[in-house]
Amino acid sequence: MKRRAVITGMGVVSSLGRDLNAFWQGLIEGRSGIAPLDRFDPEGLRNINAGQVREFSFEPAAFGLADAPDIATQFLLMAAREALIRAAIAPSEERDPGFGASFATNFGGANSWERYVAGLLVGEVPAAAFEEFAFGRAAEHTCAAFGIGGPCALLSVACASGGAALGVACDMIRLGEAQVALAVGYDALAPTPLSGLSVLRTMTDEMIRPFSADRSGTLFGEGAGALVIEDLEHARERGARPLAEVLGWAENNNAYHVTAPDQGGAGMTRVLRDAIADANIDPRTVDYVNAHGTGTQPHDPAEVQAVKNVLGERAREIPMSSIKAATGHMMGAAGAAEAIATVMAVNEGIVPPTVNYREPDPECDLDHVPNVAREATVGRAISISAGIGGNNSCVVLGALD
Amino acid sequence: MADELRIAITGVGAVSGLGTGIEPIIEALRAGHEPPGDLLEADYAPEEFRESPKTYMDPACEHALAACWLAVRSAGLGWEGAAHSGFDSERMGASIGTAFGPLDSMLNMTGRVQQKGMRFGSPMIFTHTFINAPAALIAIEYDLQGPNMTHSLGDASGAAAIAYALTMMRAGRADLMLVGGCEALSDPLLAAVDETTDGLEARPTNGLLRTTHDLLGEGAAILVLETAAHAAARGAEPLAELTGAAMLAPCRGDAGERAVIAAGSDCARVIDAASACGHTFGASVALSAACCAALVAEAEEPLAAVSRDGSGAVVMERWRA
């Protein structure tokens, strides 16, 4: 019989708060964690506001570390720990070969890179900062902290990363390479990426308003989303309650342009179609779409078109919301945090709203759940992500039958 | 193994400090002596190895695109100018490993931001600073609309990229993928290596910067992977069969063993391109794998490429029709 990959624990660090409860409460109350950035001086950015993680503290010793790792890795470790505690999985003293991990990020140790370059510019070489920047470092720290000794991946497909991390972990389970796999998307706000996203004008100078006619760009956030993915049989044997099943996933590339979406959302259409085919479900049984919904002028209509292309008439009957105006666009963490919001929708029967929504747009004419959360029965749902470089990813989630 | 699960290697391309192509690396491996010096930089004309003109390109991306250019020709794909009628773009993809990615462009961008302010970042340079830039540019260059992934796990990055592609293709998600790794000897990398090489043996981790070879190199290697059916349909003659791969958590040193077991083999001979073209970080396993593909026809046993820390490995065999 085919192995089934289920989610048995989740953890989130976001601008809405330091754990899953704060994240979900913030979402369903329609709050936003976006506020003036104060970890570094935002002077020169189009917008001083961001979804910064606040009141965050980190104890290196709790993870077997002598020194604090890069702040993005701190978010990763804290979210992963919460997910494992919720799944009732104790860290293994020895490296467990049945315990896999799939990590995903846009910018890795971006703040350590800033420190490294600041040193180079004054003739110093802070090599330890370079090592903390190196993408593989986060995997080293996390695998050591939790005794992960099975298959491992550290992926980067820009803002489509989080969804891909979940998909790769799902495959580790379905192929029998691991019985438990941690999937984490993580990223931290840092001056260089924010400068780039500002000068590209992906960042609005006003406010993030996904699917609203007056949208003018996105605002960025940070944090981590962690999910414990587990073989259903393994979960049942140890008495763990599955929160949802990862039914399928897909990732691809538009092969069109590094920053512009392709015509009519063709790449996103294919990634949705392929994910639904991988899940082997009828698209008419999808009850909710958790959108990438960045709030940029060209992106949102392309995504709406892709959903219409694949779900057909069903697209008009179901909610399709974006949580990005609540959390800020969490970059490499976005897909993972949004998958978590989707699992919560499945479990709680509540769909999180698209906040900051003001004006209907004829090109974004689906039910975008403006500003107020809504009760809904969600048996199956999809979560979509897309990123710079033309990468797309999509995850199909469902309630356990 | 059922035919639909067999994955063929139908072409390889490489650039390294020894020049363009896999041949100079194979010659140096046969000669069995390490080149003198401590840096082996890739010195070639990157603009000659592109299907279309580019206004700006980071060296890490240049290496990746040049290796692709050579690989698609080696595979006899007839994609000159990137036109590939008769192929299904949606069934083709790319999977690339790099430990550090486009660091020259990152230094350029961060230098501007730190010295002039966040208002003065360059939008054009910024889009080339993403670690997924090499894989994304390959997708655009060759219209590869299928799976597209970037992997970064230090020296094992190339093994991660190849292992991922093997999984995706065996799952039926693609018929053809360009896979491998790239790394550039950028100034920020060299500065960090110079600063850390002393005393790194004492580090408790697998040491991202630790070098066991005195010689550092750069470059890229790309393998053309095809399903057996796809290769047969176009009359391609495979160089090798990719039979197994393993990518394990850092500090696990037994990926070679795992990959051999996954390949259904008893043992494999390890080929290490580093003794010819220097240690190339995230490109190292891909360069070794390209050498395996070039050498396996004359080998009695399976050949393996293994990352320096042992956490990633790929195994291949002679193609048997």
What is the per-residue pLDDT across B82-131, written as a single tens digit (0 to 9) for each? 778 789 999 999 999 999 999 999 999 999 999 999 999 999 999 999 99
Question: Is B256 within 8 Å of B321 (Cβ atoms)?
Answer: no
User: Residue A159 catalytic?
Assistant: yes
A261 pLDDT above the threshold of 80: no
A5-237 CATH pick, 3.30.230.10, 1.20.1300.10, 3.40.50.720, 3.40.47.10: 3.40.47.10
A253 pLDDT above the threshold of 50: yes
Q: Using pLDDT thresholds of 50, 70 and 90, give the confidence band for residue B198.
A: low
Q: Which residues of B touch A97 (CB under 8 A)?
A: 252
Question: Is B271 within 8 Å of B292 (Cβ atoms)?
Answer: yes
**If you average pLDDT over residues A98-113, what whole number do you get?**
97
Check B192 against A121: CB less than 8 A apart: no
Q: Which residues of A touch B196 (CB under 8 A)?
A: 127, 130-131
Considering only alpha carbons, which residue of chain B is nearest residue A254?
Answer: B145
Q: Inter-axis angle of helices B103-116 and A191-199, to 10 degrees?
A: 90
Could you read off the pLDDT of A130-164 as tens digits, one per residue? 999 999 999 999 999 999 999 999 999 999 999 99
- Least CB–CB distance from B133: residue in A108, A274, A389: A389
- Rounded to a whole number, what is the distance in Å from the CA of B160 to chain A's nearest CA? 7
- Report the distance separating Cα A335 and Cα A264, nearest Å: 22
pLDDT attached to residue B321: 84
What 3-state class would DSSP assign to B283?
helix
- Which residues of chain A does CATH 3.40.47.10 include? 5-237, 247-398
What is the CATH superfamily name and number for domain A247-398? Thiolase/Chalcone synthase (3.40.47.10)
How many helices and strands, by DSSP H and E, does chain A display? 13, 14
For all residues of chain A together, what is the average pLDDT? 96
pLDDT attached to residue B194: 83
Considering only alpha carbons, which residue of chain A is nearest residue B91?
Answer: A252
Q: Using pLDDT thresholds of 50, 70 and 90, give the confidence band for residue B1.
A: low
Q: Using pLDDT thresholds of 50, 70 and 90, give the confidence band for residue A60.
A: very high
The torsion of the CA quartet A207, A211, A215, A216, rounded to 10 degrees, works out to 90
Looking at chain B, the whole-number percentage of residues with pLDDT higher than 90 is: 82
pLDDT attached to residue B205: 38
Give which of A258, A272, A393 to mutate to test B binding, by max B Cβ within 10 Å.
Answer: A258
Check A195 against B118: CB less than 8 A apart: yes
**If you average pLDDT over residues B227-231, what whole number do you get?**
96
Q: Which residues of A touch B164 (CB under 8 A)?
A: 153, 168
Could you read off the pLDDT of B134-173 as tens digits, one per residue? 999 999 999 999 999 999 999 999 999 999 999 999 999 9
**Reported ipTM:** 0.97
Could you read off the pLDDT of A279-320 as tens digits, one per residue? 999 999 999 999 999 999 999 999 999 999 999 999 999 999
pLDDT attached to residue B129: 97
How many helices and strands, by DSSP H and E, does chain B display? 11, 12
Q: Which residues of B touch A127 (CB under 8 A)?
A: 191-192, 195-196, 209
Class of domain B3-318 (CATH, top level): alpha beta
CA A185 to chain centre: 5
pLDDT attached to residue B253: 86
Looking at chain A, the whole-number percentage of residues with pLDDT higher than 90 is: 94
- Least CB–CB distance from A390: residue in B120, B136, B251: B136
Sequential DSSP letters for B27-86: HHHHHT-PPSSSEE---S-GGGG-SS--S---HHHHHHHHHHHHHHHHTT---GGG--TT
**If you average pLDDT over residues B182-192, what whole number do you get?**
95
- Report the distance separating Cα A137 and Cα A67, nearest Å: 13
Q: Which residues of A touch B131 (CB under 8 A)?
A: 108, 135, 156
Instruction: DSSP letter for A356, please.
Output: T
| A:159-188 residues touching chain B, CB 8 A cutoff | 164, 168, 171, 175
| A:83-102 residues touching chain B, CB 8 A cutoff | 95, 97, 100-101
| Interface check A150 vs B, CB under 8 A | yes
B230 pLDDT above the threshold of 90: yes
- Rounded to a whole number, what is the distance in Å from the CA of A361 to chain B's nearest CA? 29
pLDDT attached to residue B208: 46
Position with higher pLDDT, B208 vs A294: A294
| Cβ count near A309 (within 10 Å) | 17
Q: Using pLDDT thresholds of 50, 70 and 90, give the confidence band for residue A396.
A: very high
**If you average pLDDT over residues A97-108, what whole number do you get?**
97
